[in-house]
Amino acid sequence: QVTLRESGPALVKPTQTLTLTCTFSGFSLSTSGLGVSWIRQSPGKALEWLALIDWDDDKYYNPSLKPRLTISKDTSKNQVVLTVTNVDPVDAATYYCARTLSTVTTNWFDSWGQGALVTVSS
């Protein structure tokens, strides 16, 4: 059974760095064709894909946020970490990690964590 769980601070101050951890089980991030993505959803809004790291340690970022994002993995711990630097109130959202089925032509999200709600306020 595949499970993912996000963890991190519920509240961050503007200009701080947000660090979120996705801890997963039921699969290995060293398996070809698998990856983990971060996706966020502002209250009442649509979904926004942020970043993907795959089994080969290739990393992909949303260009609109790329300068502020870093994604990394620790395969031995079954964890993926996302950092967002210089946060702003517009970064307040529920952040999801999701297992990504990743090929040359297609990437979709077949299992999701429950989400971590992040508020940005001084």
Partner 1 sequence: DIQVTQSPSFVSASVGDTVTITCRAAHGISSWLAWYQQKPGRAPKLLIYDASRLQSGVPSRFSGRGTGMDFTLTISNLQPEDFATYYCQQANSFPLTFGGGTKVEIK
Spell out the SS3 assignment of 7-40.
ECCCEECCCCCEEEEEEEECCCCCCCCEEEEEEE
Taking the least distance from each CB to partner 1, the nearer of 16 and 23 is: 23
State the minimum distance, in angstroms, from the CB of residue 24 to partner 1. Answer: 14
Can you give the length of the chain in residues? 122
State the minimum distance, in angstroms, from the CB of residue 47 to partner 1. Answer: 4
List interacting residues with partner 1 (CB under 8 A).
Answer: 37, 46-49, 52, 60-64, 96, 98, 101, 105-115
d(CA 74, CA 48): 24
State the minimum distance, in angstroms, from the CB of residue 10 to partner 1. Answer: 16
